[in-house]
Amino acid sequence: MSEFLKKHSKSIELIACIVISYILIKLINNSAILFRAIDSLYNILSPFIIAFIFAYALNPIMSFIERKFKLKRQLSILITYLLIIITLVLISTYLIPKIYNNLIDISSKLPIFATDCQQWFNGLLAENKNLSDLINSNNFMNLDAQTIVTKVKDIAIGTLNVALSSTISITSYFIKIVLGFLISIYVLYDKEKFKTLGKKSIMLIFRKKWGTRAIEFLKTIDKFIGAYIFIKAIDSLIIGILAFIGLTLMGSKYSLIIAIIAGITNMIPYVGPFIGMATGFIINVFFNFTLAIFVFLFLFLLQQFDSWFLDPKLIGNHIGLSPYFVILAVTIGGGFYGPIGMILAVPIMAVIKVYWQRIVKKIDSLYKKVLPENK
């Protein structure tokens, strides 16, 4: 049999190319059916995909408990999931209702805020005749309080409708999420077996040379993306808690929402903290201008504390990117994929940097070998 394969290897390769090309053409011609099949397969396998995502996210916590307290795998998993369940219960019973009530309250007061802005702007125009003439001469805008109030109401209603439809969409996937959460327990318990199976599968598909490179690439991604996001999430959680305590003591309006926004946006380097500061100022400025200034200064000082002390302590030089490349990455990531892209952009840029430096080193070494010959 082996002699036959060696003798007719060219013919077999040709037939294989023809068959594969024919299959690819058929798949392209029937792409709609293919995508429907992929979508159906994804719906069936989605709980297992969610399980691996949960396991990947919870693995650092479980590994830390297992390593730090020298506990067995079963007990470490139990403690990890108990912590997550307790956190979810606290969020569901305390945070979500309060956030919902605050959002409803803000949306109901938006027309009042719009009217206040209109009155303030009209007062500014009345005091500054040159500015008023400039705006009126160029038909800059038709400043009508009722129109602004109506538009703000429409925006508020539209926002609430989007939030409601998103809630319904999330509810429809609730069973899959719960099932994935339960399956992730078994994934974490047998994580070494899954890693071994994954490595063997990669080596089988890509062979030794490219398989080794693929595994190394996945390890690099895990090192930068997984570890960075986990540590940055802890950092942002601490900032959110400190923001909530400080804002509450200051008597800030909607301190919980501002603290949550400050914590979440803290995940975005450089740009994110300014969003939190601006949100705190804008919300409070309609109630008390002096308080709004103090809220802005407090959030600014809190971000300085994070930048100069907390962030270096937790993350250190984990990413190793200059501010220029961090801002570039955040801008590109946000432009393509919004907030999620801004969060993932920095570790992805770090991965690109690692491989780019390797390419440059190879080119440099080749250049040094060739250069003496040219001389």
Interval 36-82: pLDDT, tens: 777 778 778 888 988 998 998 899 889 989 998 989 999 999 999 99
DSSP code of residue 226? I
Rounded-to-5 percentages of helix, strand, coil across the chain: 90, 0, 10
Give the model's confidence band at 2: pLDDT under 50 very low, under 70 low, under 90 confident, else very high: low
pLDDT higher than threshold 90 for residue 357: no
DSSP E strand boundaries for 88-205: none
Q: What tens digit of pLDDT does each residue of 331-340 get?
A: 888 888 777 7
pLDDT of 40 reads 79
pLDDT of 128 reads 66
Which comes out higher in pLDDT, residue 117 or 76?
A: 76
Which comes out higher in pLDDT, residue 357 or 145?
A: 357
Q: What tens digit of pLDDT does each residue of 198-219 get?
A: 888 888 888 888 888 888 888 8
pLDDT of 373 reads 52
Structure tokens at 200: 């063997």
The length of the chain, given as a count of residues: 375
Nearest to 192 by CA among 76, 298, 55: 55
pLDDT higher than threshold 60 for residue 138: no
Q: What percent of the chain has pLDDT over 90?
A: 20
Q: CA-CA distances (angstroms) from residue 84 to 66, 90, 364?
A: 16, 10, 49
DSSP E strand boundaries for the chain: none
Instruction: Name every residue whose Cβ is closer than 8 Å to that of residue 88 and which is 6 or more positions away in sequence.
Output: none
Show me where the domains of the chain are located: 46-189, 207-364
pLDDT of 168 reads 54
| Residue in this structure with the two tokens 């309250």, named with its chain if needed | 105
Q: CA-CA distances (angstroms) from residue 172 to 38, 167, 168, 177, 290?
A: 20, 9, 6, 10, 45
pLDDT of 239 reads 93
Q: What percent of the chain has pLDDT over 70?
A: 77
pLDDT higher than threshold 60 for residue 248: yes
Instruction: Name every residue whose Cβ is closer than 8 Å to that of residue 72 and which is 6 or more positions away in sequence.
Output: 66
3-state secondary structure of 355: helix
pLDDT of 159 reads 59
pLDDT of 177 reads 85
Q: What tens digit of pLDDT does each residue of 92-104 get?
A: 888 888 888 888 8
DSSP code of residue 270? T
